[in-house]
Amino acid sequence: MKLLDSLSSRRIWTRSPVLTLPCVPVLVLVRAGLRAKEKIRILMERSGRLLLLGLLLRVCSAVTDDRLISDRYAVYWNSSNPRFFRGEYTVEVAINDYLDVYCPHYEWAESDERMEQYVLYMVNYDGYTTCDHHRKGFKRWECNRPRSTGGPLKFSEKFQLFTPFSLGFEFRPGHEYYYISSPDPTGDVCLKLKIYVKPTNDSVYESPEPFLTDDTTAGCSLALPRLPLLSAMLLVLLLASS
């Protein structure tokens, strides 16, 4: 009898933990599962946003950057540069290249009357041939510090399809652009420069500004979205996915 009682008590003891399991671990598991599900949802949303951002940035880079390597071309804008007097001074560039214009600079004593100072204008073809910036042109740079202590004053032009800056200018492959200066120091020869933007990959782009290039081609253009529009689209899509 004592043996049976001991065995019975052992059975009860071995089964009692099963019968008296609390429900707290189950709730913990459920909550952990919900938290894991929420984390997965958040990760999926973030991954979707990053993927969308990457795609839009890829589109932006495809639109704005046709070349990863840029070249720089230097032009020394002064009357002693012989290239201004050997026929038409022409520089051929590609999209995303740079033009560095160096103003006259004097490291020795010179009278103010003999120091060259210029105002450079971007003009159309008529203004280029007549060296008249009043014929549909606008001021681009001003060389007005010939004695600057840091060396010659330099201005840079980037030949890009689209610019986010209000003072920037947008260029189109296959077109010419023209720069002239005022005043004319010699009285008979005008300092002027022609820039030719070379075509790339047989692409068709939006027509350039009509007042700078006397382009008579009928609106042959590819409607590429501008950079501000792409930025707005990106912001709207990110807000919609949040």
Name the nearest CA neighbour of 122 among 150, 146, 155, 95: 155
The answer to whether position 11 is within a domain reads no
pLDDT of residue 93: 96
Q: In what order do the strands lie in the sheet with 192-197?
A: 90-93, 192-197, 176-182, 118-123, 137-143
- Which one has a higher pLDDT value, 206 or 182? 182
pLDDT of residue 65: 42
pLDDT of residue 238: 59
Residue 135 to residue 201: CA distance in whole angstroms: 34
DSSP symbol at 160: B
Q: Are 172 and 207 within 8 A, CB to CB?
A: yes
**Range with the poorest average pLDDT among 11-15, 27-31, 101-105, 163-167:** 11-15
128 C-beta neighbours (distance < 10 Å), count: 25
97 C-beta neighbours (distance < 10 Å), count: 22
**How many angstroms from the chain centroid is the CA of residue 159?**
11
Q: Do both 176 and 205 map to the same domain? A: yes
Q: Do both 49 and 150 map to the same domain? A: no
Domain that holds residue 121: 72-229
Which CATH number characterizes residue 212's domain?
A: 2.60.40.420
Residue 161 to residue 96: CA distance in whole angstroms: 8
Burial class (CB in 10 A: 0-12, 13-18, 19+), 104: buried
Query: Which of 64, 90, 119 is the endpoint of a domain?
Result: 64
2 C-beta neighbours (distance < 10 Å), count: 6
Name the nearest CA neighbour of 154 among 141, 137, 138: 141
The answer to whether position 110 is within a domain reads yes
Q: Do both 220 and 155 map to the same domain? A: yes
Structure confidence by residue, pLDDT tens digits, 122-176: 999 999 998 888 877 889 999 989 988 889 999 999 999 887 776 678 899 999 9
Query: Which of 64, 92, 119 is the endpoint of a domain?
Result: 64
Q: Are 158 and 98 within 8 A, CB to CB?
A: yes
Domain count, the chain: 2
pLDDT of residue 39: 76
Cα–Cα–Cα angle for 74, 79, 80, rounded to 5 degrees: 75
Residue 138, token pair as written in the block: 């606008």
Question: Whole-model pTM?
Answer: 0.58
The answer to whether position 12 is within a domain reads no
pLDDT of residue 75: 96
Q: Do both 55 and 165 map to the same domain? A: no
Q: Judge whether residue 202 has pLDDT over 60.
A: no
Put residue 202 in one of left, alpha, beta given phi > 0 → left and psi -120 to 50 → alpha.
Answer: left
Q: Judge whether residue 32 has pLDDT over 90.
A: no
Structure confidence by residue, pLDDT tens digits, 207-235: 555 555 544 333 333 333 444 555 556 66
- Which one has a higher pLDDT value, 40 or 2? 40
Task: Supply the angle between the helices 227-241 and 24-64 in degrees, to the nearest 10.
Answer: 170
The answer to whether position 101 is within a domain reads yes
Residue 49, token pair as written in the block: 């946003």
